Structure 1
Amino acid sequence: MNANNRKRRGGFNRGGPLGDMAAQLKQRLENFIQSNDEELILEPMEKEKRKTLHGLILKMGLRAVSKGKEPNRYMIISRRRIDPLKHIIDAQSIGLTIEQNQAIRRLIHDYPIENWHVQNYLNLENYKDNRKSNKKSPYQGPMRVPQFPKPNRGMESFRQKLPAYQMRFQILDAINRNQVTLITGGTGCGKTTQVPQFLLENAAHSRTPIRIICTQPRRLPAIAVSSRVAKERGEEHGRTVGYHIRLEQNTSQETVLTYCTSGILLRMLTADAVSSNISHIILDEIHERELNTDYLLIALKQALKSRKDLKVILMSATMEGNKEMFLNYFEDARIGHVEIPSRLYDVEKFYLSDILAMTGHVSSNQNIVSCDISPKIPRVSEFNGIVKEDQNLSNLRWDKITASVDQQKPQTSMDLNWSQITIDQPEETSKPSICTQEPGKPIVFNVSQHLNEQIPDRPPFFNPNYTQRLLNAGLDRQILVQKYSETSGIMWCEGVDPELVASVVKYLMDSPVLGSILVFLPGYEDILAVNDKIIENEKNFKTRPMIYTLHSQMNSGDQQKVFDAASNGTRKVILSTNIAEASLTIDDVVFVVDCGKVKEKSYDHESRISQLKVQWIAKSNAEQRSGRAGRCRNGFCFRLYTQEQHDVFDLTQNAEMKRAAIHEVCLHVKIFAPENVTVREFLEMAPEPPTSTSIANSLEFLEQLGALYLQDDTTIPEEEEARISYKFFNPNRDTNVEPELSRLGRLVAHMPLEPQLARLLLFGLALKCLDPILILVAALSHRDPFILPASEDARRVANSARDEFA
C-alpha cells in the first residue's frame, strides 16, 4: 500500500459551524469508506465538536480515537474490525424436521452399534498401552553438566551469611546417601534458593550430568526465585536456571535447573512415569498440601521403586504435625532429615484484645447492636438479631438489669452495649418485647475515653517502649473484644474488617520502628477495600505510604517492585494474599498484620461446582505469617483474632485432595497407576487420601464424559436402549467394577485442561467448528484474563479498556 494512502488528513475549518463541518465530514467519511486508506486524521477541534462527531462516526460503522492534549487534541478515524463472533451471535438454531428424525432412527435401527464393535475398539493394540506414545514429550531434555557460576563478591557474601549455606555439606551428604531427603528450616533460611545451587555446584565440580526440577506452589514464586538464583550465579535468567509455568516459560537448551508449578511436573510424569531425564525432584513448601503435590507424592513413591538413582527432596518452613507423617510415608525408601536452624529474630505477637487496647479502634458501626431473643420466639430477621439504633431502642445504660430468679417463667433477653437485660414476664404475656425507658439512642460506652482514663499518655502510634505498659494496664480486654464483636465483628465474621486493618496500618505508619508493613488478606476484594481505606487516611500520616499488592492475577512485572527499597519519607505497605506466606521473602518487613483468613477452593459433588470460600487459617500458617516479620530485626505480628480463636485452629492445613475436585487426578491415575491397581487403591496411597464417595463421584463423572468406559455385559431392557442414563444409573450395575480408560480419555488426560473442557475442544475439532469452541474453552479454562489493577486510577483505566471489548 502506498505510504501516501496510509493516512489522510482532513482539512476542516476548526472554527466553522458544527453543522457545516458535520456535512463536510460525512462526505469525507463516505469517500474514506470507498477508499483503501487505513486511517483518516482530522484537524484539532474542541471537545464538544468531537463529542458530537463521535456519534456520526459510530453510525457509519467506523471507529474514532482522540489523541493529544487540549487544545491540540485531534481524532483518528479507522475502519471498525469485524467482530469474529458476530456470525455466531447472529446464527439461528437449526432444528430437525420430522422426516430427518425418522431417517436417523431408521439408521440406528438398521445399523446398531453391537457389543463386539465396542470390544474391538477397546482391544486395539495401540490403545491397550496406556503409557507409550509415538510423540516425543515436549518436556523431555537430556541431563547436562552445569556451568560454573560467576557470582560477584556481594552475592557470594550474602549467600555465606544464610543458615542454609552453613549446612551445605550436611545437606549434600544427606541427599547423596538417601533416596528421599526431608529438609526443614525457618522462613528465610535460604533453602529454596541455596539447596538447588549446592547440587548445581557439586555437579559442575564432579562433571556429573544433572537435571533438577523444583516445584513451587504458585506462579509468582517460581518466577521470582528462579530470577534470584540466576542473579546469584551471575548468569542470564533462562540459561542454566529458568522457570516453567502455565502459558509462560523461560528456559533454553542449557537449562539444568527449572522452577515450575506442580501442574507442570505432573505433565512431565504423565509423559514419562519414571522421570528418566530428571536426576533430582524438589517439592518445596510441601506443608501446603496442594492437590497436585499430594498426587506427586504417590507418583514419586512409585517411581522410586524402579529409579533407585532418583533423588526426591521435600522442603518446608514448618513441619508441625507433618514431619512424622512424611517420614512414615517414605519408610520403604532410604530417607534422611536435615534441620536448618533459623536465623529469625524475635517476633512479638499481639492478639485482637491487645490491638484494640493499643490502637483505641472504635467501629463506625456503633448503630449496630446484637439482640438475643428467647429461643421460644421464632426468628424473623435474616440478620439473626442485628438491629439498628433507629428502631426505638431503650436508652439503657451499661449495667446489668436483672429481675426475678424464678426459673418457671420464660425469659426474654437483649444484649445491648455489652449488657444482658433479662425481663421476667408471665407465661401468657411472653412476647418478643424489650424493657423500655424513654425512646432515644442507646448510650454508647466510649472506648477511647476508657483507654485515656486507664492510660492517659497512650501514644497515637506504635512505640515498643510503651508496649509493656499498655499490656499491663487495668483494661478489661474481654469487654473490648465483646464490644467490637457486637458491632463490626458480627458484620465481618465471614470476611475481613477493612476499617480495623486500616486502623492498625495507621497506628504503625508513624512508628519510630523502621521497616515495611505486610498485610495478609484473603482476596482481591479485601485488598481493594483496605487499599481505599488507607488512601482515605493518607492525609493523617506523617510518613507517606507506598502501597504494593501481591495477588496471583496481578501483573508479575509490577509485583517485582515490592522487593525494591522504600524511598526517604515513605514506608512500604504490602497488601497480599497468602502468596507472600511462603517462598517469597521480602527482607525489610518488620510489621505483619494477619487477618487470620484465607480463601480455599472447595468442590460440591452434587452441583459439580468449585468455589472459593473464606476460611480460618491453620496454626502452621499463622506461624509462617508471623515469621515474615523477623527477617532483618526484631519484628511484630498483629493478629486480628483472639488467643482463644487461635487455640482452636487446626494444626495444619486440610489437604486439598480431601476438599477439591479430583476428576483430573483420577484420569491421570488411570494412565500412571500400575496394571491391576485401581484408582481407589492408588489414591489410598496418599498421605491423606480422598473419601471413597469423592472417588466414586469423579469416576462416574468421567464415565459420563466418555473418558472412561465400563465393559458391562448387563442386558439393557429394550425400552431403555435409547436412554444413555440407564448405563450410569442401572440399579443392577456392579459398583465394584472400575471403568477402563477410553481413547478419548487418553487424549483428554494429555491436555492441560479440565476433562469436560478438553472433551469439548476435541469434539469441536471433530465436528469442524474449532474456532468458536477454541474461544469458549480458552475463556472457560482460564481465570479472568484481565490483569487486576491496584490503584483507583488504574482500575478506572482497566474498566474503560474492558468496555472497549464489550
Structure 2
Amino acid sequence: MSTRSGLSCRQSCGNVLAPLHPSSVRVTYPDLPVARRRDEILAAMRSSQVVVVVGETGSGKTTQLPKMAIELSRELGLEGRIGCTQPRRLAATSVARRVAEELKVEVGKEVGWQVRFTEVCSKETRVKFMTDGILLAETQGDRSLKQYDAIIIDEAHERSLNIDFLLGYLKKLVTKRKDLRVVISSATLDAGRFAEFFGNCPVVEVEGRTFPVEDIFLPEWEGGERLREHVLRGVEFVTDLDSQGDVLVFLPGEREIRECAEMVQGRGFPNTEAVPVFARLSLKDQEKVFRPSGKRRIFMATNVAETSLTIPGIVSVVDSGQARVSRFSPQRQVQSLQIEMISQASARQRRGRCGRVREGICVKLYDEETLEMAPEFTDPEIRRSALSGVILRMLSLGLGDVREFPFIDPPGPRAVNEGWKTLEEVGAVAKRDQSKLTETGWRLAKLPLDPRLGRMLIESERRGVFEEVLIIVSGLSAMDVRERPQGKEEKADEAQRKFLDERSDFGVYLILWKCIGEFRDDKGKMRSNQMRKWCEKNFISFRRVREWLGVYSELRRSFRKKNGEAKEVSTPADVYAEVHKSILSGVPRQVGVWDKEKRHYHGVSNRQFAVFPGSGLFKQKRALWVLGFELVETSRLWARKLAEIDPKWVEEVVPHLCRSKFHSPYWDDQQGAVYGLEDVILGGLSVVEGRRVFFGRVNPKAAFEVFVREALVEGKLRGTNPVLQNLHWLKGVIFRGERKLRRVGYLWDEVAAYDFFFERMPVEINTSKAFYDLTKDPEEMGKLMVRFGDLIWEEGIEEQLKLFPDEVEHGGRQWPVNYVSDLEAEDDGLTFEVGIDELLRFPDYLASWAVSGLLGERVELLIRSLPKDWRRECQPVAERVDGFLEEWGNWEPQQDLLEALLEYLREKTGRAIDGMDESRLPGYLRAKIRVRDERGEVLGFGEDVREIKEKLAAVLRARREAAANEEWEMTGGEVWSFGELPVEAEGGVFPALVDEGETVGMRAFLDLEEAEESHRAGVTRLFLLEHVDHGVYVRKNFPLQMAGRFMLPLLPDGTMEELVKVAAEGSLGRMPRSEEEFEVAAQHGKGEWFGCAEKIAGALEGLSDADGRVREWMDRNRQDRHLGEVVLQMEEQRAWLLRAGFAWKAGYDRMKRYQRFFHGMEERISRLDTQPLLRDEEKQDQFLPLWDEWMIQWQERPEAVRLWEIGWMLEEWRLQLFAPGVPHVGKTSAKRIENALGI
C-alpha cells in the first residue's frame, strides 16, 4: 500500500484522529494458536486486500488479529483506524477491554468501542471494536469508510444479516479503495465460500488448542423416547465414564432446558448441579455460569454456547442435535421458531466445546446416518429473515437493487418481494416506483430502527402521542425487562400482575415507565439504589431497565437530530386509540378477528393464530379484534404483544393497503339515488362491513342498471313526473289484469320494461335528480312514455280485461271490486268492497252474479252441480250456458243468480229442475263481500250478504245512533238547558238525559227502554244537583229502624247513597221532558223526598227480618243431601237481589215492595216443610232452564236494560211458582219469558 494512500486517509480523518507514534503502542502476543501463524497472516494481508482467517473458538482470532493489523499499519505508514466488528454488544465491549489490557493502553483512548447508543472512543483511538450494525450505520455518513485502514469482520461464520450486508458492501468497496485491508474471521471450515466471494483471496487456517475427543452416538430407543429422558440417558452415560468433569448439554430452547434441568437435578448425581444457560437469563443466573461453585456442573444451553459464549472447564458435551431456528416465511409473513436438526458445521462447533482442558467425550443423541444427511452449514440469516430493513438501507445508501447486490447467498425472490411489500406498507416506497424512497422512507432510513418501529414513531408525532409511542418503541427495541427466574415463576407472575393491561400488552410499557419515573429526583436523575431494590422486589432486570432508558434517550436524540423536534400536537381525546393507531401503522398486517366457532384469531392471508400465554390478554375475555406486534410459530402460531383495537382504525391508518369491495346496490328512495354497501378488506379480513356508499360514484354502469330495474321498473321512484305516473298506472292495470284473469306473473313483462328504458336512457342516469333533469326535455320525455303493449307478453289482453271491471254498476251506484289470485287466501277470487254506511244499500243478490268475465264459468259449474237426472235434462250444457248468457247477461240483475238460472232451465226444459249446489263452486268463483269502516278496518267478510248484515246489525245501530247524536248530544249541564225532549225524534231515535256524575248530558238512543232508563238517571241527577243541601239532610236522617241499620253493613258499598237517590226518583213521580215540567216535579219532589225514603226504609226493615230467617235456614240445611240444591238456588237468588247497584236497578216502585222477594223465599221454605220435595223439584224443572239461559245472556251484557227487565220478570215468575201466597206484580209466564229471551 502506498504512502500516498495513507496520507490521503490521514488527511481525510485529520480533524478526527490525532497522530499515532509507532513507539506509543508495543505489540506482543500470548501463546495462542493464531499468534503462531502471525507471519503467514501478515504476509497474506500484504499481498491481498482481503484475507480469510479460519480458526476454532479459543484460537485467539478475536484478540490477536487487531494487533497484526496495527503492525501492518505501522509498516505501511498508515494513520487510519482499525475497525473490528462483533455480532454482539457484550463481545465488543469485553474484547476491547481484553485487547487494551494486552496492549497496556487505556480503554477509550488507543482502543475504544461503540455499541448501539454508547460510544467509548476518542481522537486517539486506533482500534475500534463495534457491533456490525454500528459499522453499517457509519456507511450512511462515510460511504467509503475513509477513517479505517483495515476492517476485521469477526465471527463471520454466523452469517447474520449485518455480516452478509457488510461483506457485500466491502466487496464493492475494496474495488474503489485499494488501500483498505479486510480480514474475514470465521470459526467454521466454510472458508471456501468467503474466499470465492472475494475473488479467491488467501485463506489462513489456524488449528485450535484441543485434546482428543471421543465421539459416541446414542440415538433414541426404537420405541420412541421423550427428549428429557433421552438427555438424562446421555448424561448418565457421560457420568459413568467421568463423574468429575463439567458437562455441556445442547438443547433447542428454554422450555426444554428447564424440563431437562429439573429431571437431571432430580436424578441426584453426587456433588452435581444443573445450570441453565440461555439468552433470557437474569443477571444473577448469568453470573452463576462463570462463577466456580465447587461442584460438578451440568450446563443446559441453547446454541448460544456454540460460538457466542465460551463456558470454561467443559470436559464432555451431550448434543441433542436440535436447535430452535428462526425462519421468516414470506408467503405467510410469519417468523417461526421451529426445532430443526442442526447442520454438520454446528455439530462440529458443539463438539469443539469439549477437549480444551483434557481429553473429552461428545455424546450425540442421534445416529451417524442422521448427521451425514444433515445440511453442511446452517442457512445464513439473510435466507431466514425479513429483508425490509436491508432494502431500506440499500435504497438510502444508493446501493441499487437488492436483487443485484453482491450477497454471498442472495435472498430468495419471495423474501425480497416481501421486503418490498413491508416497505410499501409503512409508506417508505411508492407502489408504482419502488426505486425511490418517499419522504417517509427517507425519515425512516435516518432512524436506527427497524422500519416498522420507525413508522410507529413518525405516525405518533402526527397523532400527538409521540412520547407514549417512543416509550413503547424503546421497550420493543430492547429486551423485556421482566424476569421469571427458574423456580420463582409464580412469584414473578404475581409480582408483575399489577403491570398488566387487560386491553393491551403495549400498555405494560407505559405502566412500567410510570413506575420507573417515580425514582427520579427533582433534577430528573435516577435514584439508582432505590430503583434497584424495587426491581429486585418485582423481578425486573435493573440492567435491562437501564438499557431501556438508554434506548429511549438515544432514540429521542436521534429523532430530534434527523427529524427536528417532535411537533407539538394537542393531546388527543382518546390516547389509547391514537397510540395503537400509531403501532398499527408499523404492523398493519398483524391484525386478527376472533372466530368463536374455531376458537382462534383469523388473521390476514388466512392465518390463524392464538394469544401467547405470556400476554396480558391471555386469560381475558377474547377481544373481537386484536393487533399483534409479532407472529411467531413454535408448536402453533402465536401472537405476541397484543392489543385490542377497533377494526375501523385499519382503514384510517393504512388506506393504501386496503381494498374496497362494493356490492349489493339498491335504490334508496329517501336519498333518491342508488346506494350500495362497501366492505373494506385488508388481506382477506373485512375491517369495515356494510358501509353505505353512493354507487353511482364507484360503479356508474351497475348503478344505472339498478336505477332502471328498481327505481323505474319496480316502481320505487315515486313522483308527479308524467313518465313515472304513466308507468305506474300501466303497471297497476297489468297487475290487476293478472289477478282478474288468474294469470299472476304471466302478463307483466319485466324484461321488456327494463329493456325499454335501458335502451332509451343515458347510462349516467342513477339518481332521481338526473332522471328529472333528463325528462325536462320534451323529446326525451316522449321517448320514455311507455305503452300498454310494450309491457305485456301477449296481444288481445285488453279486450279480455273489459269483462272484469274494477267497479260493478247497479242501481245507479258503482260498487268497487277487488281481485285476488291466491288459492290459499280467504279472499281468493272476486270481492266487493263495501263501506259500512253503504251496506244496507248493497243488494243481497248482487254478489251471486259477480262479473261478466266469470259468469259463464259460474253458470256452467252450477248446471253441472245438479243431480244426475236433472243434469241430463240440461244437455248440452254449453248451449244452455250460451242461451242463459244471451237472455240474462245484458240485464241488470234483480234476483239471485241461482233463482234466475233455475227459472231459465225450468222454462227451457219444462221440468221442475232443482238441487243446484252452489257450495261445489271453487272458491274463486264464489264472490265475497268485505265491509270496512272509514278507517279501512274490516268489520265483516264472507259470501252471504244477508248473514253479514245480521252480524253487523249492532255496528249499524251504533253508527246510526252516533249519527243521530251529532244533533242531540250535549254534556256538562248543571241545570235544565236541554229544551223540550220528545219521546221519539225524527229518524226513529229517542232523546234522553244522561247521568255524567257531576253533571248531566243529553244524547239520542235507538232503543226506547235504554232511553227511558238513561232519562230516569239523568233527571234524578239533575234534581240532586239542584238540591244538594236537602239531599245531605235526607242522607243524614234516613229513617232506618234498628233492623234496617243492622242490615245495611251486609249490603254492597254505596247502598246508602243509592237509597237516597231512589227516594229522590220516587219523589219526582213521572219523569219530566221539559224545563217547565222539571221545575214542577222538582218542587213537588223536594217535599216528597223524605216520605219516599220512609217507604223504602220500611221495605228494608221487612227485607232484613225475612233475610235473617232465610239465612238461618240455609245455614241449617246447607249440608242436607236433599235440601242442599235448594240452598244453592236461594244463595244465587239472594246474590242477584242484593248485588252491587241493586237499589237503583230496581227503582223506586220495586224498592218500596222489595221485601216481597224475601217473603217469597220464606214461603218456599215453609212449603218444603209441609209438602213433598218432589213438588218443589217439579217447579225447579220449569224455572231453572229459563233462569240459566237468562244468566248466560245477562253475564255477556250486564248493562242491557232489556235483560234487567227480564230478570225482574223471572223474579215475579219465581214468586208465582214457589210462593203463590205472596203478591206478584204484572203478568208473567214461561212463554213470555221465552219470547223475551228469543228462545
Q: Report the TM-score range of the alignment, normalised by the length of the smaller protein.
A: 0.5 to 0.7
**Inter-CA distance 526–238: structure 2 relative to 1 (3 Å threshold):** farther
Q: How does 1:343-358 map to 2 (within 5 A)?
A: 343-353=209-219
Query: What are the superposed Cα offsets for residues 227-247 of structure 1, whole Å, 9 maximum, x if unpaired?
Result: 433343345555544443335
Q: What are the residue-to-residue correspondences of 1:555-570 with 2, within 5 Å? A: 555=282, 559=286, 561-564=288-291, 566-568=292-294, 570=295
User: 1: distance between equivalents of 2:111 and 2:247?
Assistant: 31
Task: Check the 8 A contact 1:149/1:235 in 2, yes or no.
Answer: no
- Which residue in 2 is equivalent to 1:708? 429
Q: CA deviation at 1:621?
A: 0.7
Amino acid at match of 1:499: E
Deviation at 1:620, TM superposition (A): 0.5
User: 1:157-172 maps to which residues of 2 (within 5 A)?
Assistant: 160-172=30-42
Which of the pair is proportionally richer in helix? 2
Give 1:618's match in structure 2, choosing from 337, 343, 346: 343
Offset of residue 166 of structure 1: 0.9
Letter in 1 for 2:337: L
- 1:189 paired with 2:59, answer yes
Distance change >3 Å, CA 258–CA 599, structure 1 → 2: farther
Q: How far 1:287 sits from its partner (Å)?
A: 2.1
Structure 2 CA distance for aligned equivalents of residues 619 and 253 of structure 1: 45
Aligned to 1:348, the other structure's residue is in SS state: strand
Per-residue CA deviations over 1:666-700 (Å, capped at 9, x if unaligned) read: 111112244xx433222xx2111112232223213
- In structure 1, the residue matched to 2:45 is 175
Pair 223,350 (structure 1): closer, same or farther in 2 beyond 3 Å: farther
Q: 2:615 aligned with 1:747, yes or no?
A: no
- Which of 553, 571, 576 lines up with 2:280 in the alignment? 553
Cα contact 2:331–2:414 (8 A) shared by 1? no
Query: After superposition, where does 1:85-96 map in structure 2 within 5 Å?
Result: none
Q: Are residue 636 (structure 1) and residue 361 (structure 2) matched?
A: yes
Task: Pick the aligned partner of 1:326 from 177, 190, 194.
Answer: 194
- Shift in alpha-carbon separation, 1:211–1:550, aligned structure 2, 3 A: farther
1:160–1:166 Cα contact (<8 Å) kept? no
**Structure 1 residue 769: deviation in Å?**
1.8
The answer for the alignment partner of 1:287 in structure 2 is 157
Q: CA deviation at 1:506?
A: 4.5
3-state SS of paired residue (1:335): coil
Q: Give per-residue Cα distances to partners, 1:431-470, cap 9 Å, x unaligned.
A: xxxxxxxxxxxxxxxxxxxxxxxxxxxxxxxxxxxxxxxx
How is 1:152-301 mapped onto 2 (pairs within 5 angstroms)?
160-200=30-70, 203=73, 208-235=78-105, 237-247=107-117, 250-252=120-122, 254-301=124-171
Counterpart position of 1:805: 499
- 1:622 to partner: Cα distance: 0.4
Residue type of the alignment partner of 1:777: V
* 1: CA distance, partners of 2:484 / 2:22: 39
Q: Do the aligned residues in 1 keep the contact of 2:18 with 2:124 (CA within 8 Å)?
A: no
- Percent of pairs with identical residues: 33
Give CA deviations for 1:457-510 in whole Å, capped at 9, x if unaligned: xxxxxxxxxxxxxxxxxxxxxxx7313x2x42xxxxxxxx12332343355457
Cα displacement (A) at 1:314: 0.7
C-alpha separation between the residues in 2 aligned to 1:536 and 1:248? 44
Deviation at 1:223, TM superposition (A): 3.8
Deviation of the 1:162 alpha carbon: 1.1
SS at match of 1:221: helix
Instruction: Name the counterpart of 1:690.
Output: 411
Superposed, 1:319-718 pairs within 5 Å as 319=189, 322-331=190-199, 335-353=201-219, 481-483=221-223, 485=224, 487-488=225-226, 497-509=227-239, 512=242, 514-537=244-267, 540-545=268-273, 547-555=274-282, 559=286, 561-564=288-291, 566-568=292-294, 570-674=295-399, 677-682=400-405, 685-709=406-430, 712=432
Q: Using CA pairs below 8 Å that are at least 6 residues apart, which structure has the higher relative contact order?
A: 1
Do 2:33 and 2:209's aligned partners in 1 also have CA atoms closer than 8 Å? Answer: yes
Q: Secondary structure at the match of 1:189?
A: coil
Cα deviation for residue 654 of structure 1 reads: 1.2
**C-alpha deviation, 1:173, in angstroms:** 2.2
Alignment-derived partner of residue 145 in structure 1? 20
Verify the 8 A CA contact 1:146 1:256 in the aligned structure 2. no
* Offset of residue 253 of structure 1: 5.0
Tell me the CA shift for residue 300 of structure 1.
0.9
CA shift at 1:267, angstroms? 1.3
Distance 1:787 1:176 in 2: 50
C-alpha distance after superposition, 1:514-553 (max 9, x if no partner): 432112222222222222223323xx222232x4443333
Instruction: Map 1:721-740; keep pairs closer than 5 Å.
Output: 738-740=434-436
**1:148-191 deviations in whole A, cap 9, x for unaligned?**
7999xxx97xx532111111122122223211001112332111
Distance 1:316 1:529, change over 3 A: same
Say whether the 8 Å CA contact 1:510–1:543 is kept in structure 2: no
Once the two structures are superposed, residues 602-640 of structure 1 have per-residue CA deviations (whole angstroms, 9 ceiling, x without a partner) of 112344232322221110110011011021221111111
Residue aligning to 1:430: none
SS at match of 1:501: helix
Q: Which amino acid aligns with 1:552?
A: A
Distance 1:481 1:148, change over 3 A: farther
TM-score, normalised to structure 1, is 0.56
Amino acid at match of 1:481: W
Superposition deviation, residue 201 in structure 1: 5.5
Query: Are 1:707 and 1:744, in contact at CA under 8 Å, matched by a contact in 2?
Result: yes
Deviation of 1:208 (Å): 4.5
The residue that corresponds to 1:19 in the other structure is none
Does residue 1:304 correspond to 2:29, yes or no? no
Alpha-carbon distance in structure 2 between the residues aligned to 1:664 and 1:739: 15
Give the count of matched residue pairs. 487
Cα 1:739–1:704, aligned 2, differ >3 Å: closer, same or farther?
farther
Distance in 2 separating the partners of 1:248 and 1:516? 36
Whether 2:453 is the aligned partner of 1:757: answer yes
Residues 549, 784 of structure 1: CA spacing in aligned structure 2 closer, same or farther, 3 A cutoff?
same
Change in Cα spacing, 1:649 to 1:272, as seen in structure 2 (3 Å) is same
Take 1:641 and 1:752, find their aligned partners in 2: how far apart are those partners?
43
Q: Structure 2 vs 1, CA of residues 221 and 553 (structure 1 numbering), >3 Å: closer, same or farther?
A: farther
1:786 to 462, 466, 482: 482
Question: Counterparts of 1:664 and 1:602 in 2: how far apart (Å)?
Answer: 16
Contact 2:18 2:123 in 1 (8 A): no
For residues 558 and 260 of structure 1, what CA distance do their matches in structure 2 show? 26
Partners of 2:484 and 2:124 in 1: CA distance = 34
Structure-2 separation of matches of 1:235 and 1:787: 38
Tell me which structure has the larger Cα radius of gyration. Answer: 2
Instruction: Quote the Cα distance in structure 2 between the aligned partners of 1:554 and 1:141.
Output: 40
> Are the counterparts in 1 of residues 272 and 298 from structure 2 also a CA contact under 8 Å?
no
Structure 2's unaligned 5+ residue stretches are 1-14, 501-1239
Please list every run of 5 or more consecutive structure 1 residues that lacks an aligned counterpart in the other structure: 1-139, 354-479, 489-496, 713-736
Letter in 2 for 1:667: L
CA distance in 2, matches of 1:578, 1:698: 28
CA 1:233/1:349 → structure 2, altered by over 3 Å: closer, same or farther?
Answer: same
Q: What amino acid sits opposite 1:792 in the alignment?
A: G
Deviations 1:338-378 (A, max 9, x none): 1223332211111124xxxxxxxxxxxxxxxxxxxxxxxxx
Q: Deviations over 1:690-724 (max 9, x none)?
A: 122322232133123221125x5xxxxxxxxxxxx
In the alignment, what sits opposite 1:770?
466
